[in-house]
Chain A
């Protein structure tokens, strides 16, 4: 059967048209037709502007006829359009009354807020034509892709080991050895490396289209070009960053990114996207017209009663997330990434903003967050909040979750860093973090899986810098070192920056190993910052958002230089993945509720079973009972961890194991490589079964299991 309504009703400058379908918004291919649909509550008129690819002047501007508008939606179907060679935008007419919230300007050509393919910044750093009327240009996307049997992976959240990475920084360094440096394809080339490291999830810093030339300038310190490298400034919420694709110059970024996700999935690695729904790249009142400001300013932005932009993001404007229409856009964007790109989860930048009402006040049950928690398509998608914003709202432990949302646990970072540098005031807090922060998450029944633990992330020092610098060194950013976090809880181990002193370097390596050990033996979802596994440094820059150079790029030479660190990371990640007892979903009970003879979890001090015994609040030990973590009826091992952040060696009395079992040493950060860590499941027997000596600022991990029969 043929449909009877697939015939043109109008003609305009040779193009055949008919009234479109208001839904879905954006440009949609329907056989030999393309449907264009755009919503604006306050616009009085709209024009579709069509260009041939890359051309400055449009070849036609088609008004949306009166009969092409339904409610507040303008829609039109065009027949027989060669859409691979078309770029489109909109002109919106309406009032320019900033005090009322309206900034319509029909001289501007505007990007479709639902654009799924955006060109104009196709090759990283290639200077655009600034005189062009239309900078970020929408194209119609090919949305067919052969996924074969791929679907989002749905790895249990408590089994994740997240690797936070930046597409460009990961492989841009000359020593990365990849063909397609700084791109999605470059990540594919590094899949064997990620597998060797052992992570099962990559969290990509923003990959939505943004403009690397935003705030482009020269560093007053060294004269180098500074770019918007990190991309926390969205141009479009539905389109991937073209310049992150080696095929971006051919507008094939959609296929390249989908291929990357598919290949990662094939290798057991999930993909989480860092999404920025708190603001856009349009900035404040002085910012450019890209899309939302000209399409429907009052709908898309939070505005003061006088019509100025609220700035809870610290970036000039705030997306009006709890306006019903903007909320719909966000939900549709996320559904689109899951449906069309098979994305496994999202980390929401400055997510506290998503819980503010249209006047900026925090809500107790924010409708957007509730919608996302209950969305059918996102039903098994990981939702992770950065539970604070730049307006002072801090919701770690109290982010509205409906049992679905996890949080970046900023308190884990702060407490563990302080403990690492031998702060004597933090032990009680450290103990909460080790057991999955029940003080934050137990009362709401959110469980351990609510806590994404990390010690380093893109914001702040890398792990090697955390143990090499007391203070940030952001001069190259050109902001007189005012930018970036001041409270780093870092310690340089005796010398600020690079050192030739073997003792200092040895201590730094040990501290790096201590930190990753704390992360990997704690309950919760561990997140590793890309590059930490090879001792990557940013030369003390703790806010390298603009350093598109070797400051932020991973130096792959470090893999050899810091081979002991890489080896340690690999082994401890493998250890965590082998031991279910380290990956509880729900909080521990600290009692023997199944009658195994030992509690599921117990604290110890330098004396077994006496957690209060210790030195200066800098020693702690704990034991996990593997019998509470069976896999197919087979119990896990016992695991005992002794942490000594004191600057002197201490003996730790060991708890007795059940008959037939013995302690084996898996890791001892106080030992030189290769005795710092062993192959999981091939750990040597501990000589003294009653006590271990833990060196200054060192951690020992023992495994309690049956003695090997020789």
Chain B
């Protein structure tokens, strides 16, 4: 879903992000970045991110940065946050509790 006012596009991740679905997610996020849009990844529904999944997110973040774009995470569950904290992946991302918070921040 694209927010026309800001060159930013939202992308929703399903219940899990792992080796079974990573390719589709990776392709979808890269497609957003390829269009020159920053990405807001809505993780509200996601309660598990595997090692592969963590790398999809970080790779996407780095691709975004290389294009001068942003990648935000929104609605990270406690389970996923825990994994990201202990593995250090949390340090690479700007994350928000809600989409509204994120968009507000981006606007400002």
Contacts and interface: CB of A to CB of B under 8 A. Distances in A.
Nearest to B22: A84
A142 B86 CA distance: 16
Interface of B: 18-20, 50-52, 54-55, 58, 82-83, 85-89, 92
Nearest to A245: B86
B54 A255 contact: yes
A259 B19 contact: no
A216 to B, nearest CB: 27
Contacts of A245: 86
A659 interface: no
A142 B55 contact: yes
B88 A142 contact: no
Contacts of A255: 51, 54, 87-89
A449 to B, nearest CB: 32
A484 B65 CA distance: 57
A234 B105 CA distance: 50
Contacts of A188: 86
Contact of A247 (B18, B19, B83, B92): B83
- Residue of B51, B82, B86 ringed by the most chain A CB atoms within 10 A: B86
B interface SS class = helix
A167 interface: no
A40 to B, nearest CB: 30
A43 to B, nearest CB: 32
Interface string A595-618: 000000000000000000000000
A656 interface: no
B87 A146 contact: no
Nearest to B50: A84
A259 B86 contact: yes
29 contacts: A82-B19, A83-B19, A84-B18, A84-B19, A84-B51, A84-B52, A85-B20, A142-B51, A142-B52, A142-B55, A180-B86, A183-B86, A184-B86, A185-B85, A188-B86, A247-B82, A247-B83, A250-B50, A250-B83, A251-B51, A252-B51, A252-B83, A252-B87, A255-B51, A255-B54, A256-B87, A259-B86, A259-B88, A263-B88
A247 B88 contact: no
Nearest to A254: B51
Most chain A CB atoms below 10 A, which of B19, B87, B92: B87
Nearest to B85: A185
Contacts of B52: 84, 142
Contacts, number: 50
Nearest to A147: B88
A142 B89 CA distance: 14
Contact of B87 (A85, A144, A259): A259
Given A142-B52, A185-B86, A255-B88, 4 more contacts: A82-B20, A245-B86, A247-B82, A252-B83
A574 interface: no
The majority secondary structure among interface residues of chain A is helix
Given A84-B52, A255-B51, A246 B19 contact: no
Interface string A45-87: 0000000000000000000000000000000000000111100
Contacts of B19: 82-85
Interface residues of A, number: 24
A82 B20 CA distance: 8
Nearest to A85: B19
A148 to B, nearest CB: 9
A258 B88 contact: yes
Contacts of B87: 247, 252, 255-256, 259
Interface string A151-189: 000000000000000000000000000001001110010
Given A84-B18, A252-B83, A262 B88 contact: yes
Interface centre among B50, B51, B85, B92 (most CB of A within 10 A): B51
Nearest to A117: B51
Contacts of B92: 146
A245 B88 CA distance: 13
Contacts of B20: 82, 85
Contacts of B83: 247, 250, 252
Nearest to A142: B51
B88 A144 contact: no
B81 to A, nearest CB: 12
Nearest to B62: A146
Interface in A195-251: 245-247, 250-251
Contacts of B85: 185
A576 B106 CA distance: 49
Contacts of A183: 86
A256 B86 contact: yes
A250 B50 CA distance: 7
Contacts of B51: 84, 142, 250-252, 255
A246 B82 CA distance: 9
Nearest to B51: A142
Contacts of B82: 246-247
A681 to B, nearest CB: 35
A85 B85 CA distance: 23
Contacts of A180: 86
A146 B58 CA distance: 9
B87 to A, nearest CB: 4
Contacts of A84: 18-19, 50-52
Nearest to B53: A84
Nearest to A82: B19
A309 to B, nearest CB: 37
A84 B48 CA distance: 14
B86 A144 contact: no
A416 to B, nearest CB: 39
A299 B89 CA distance: 41
A232 to B, nearest CB: 26
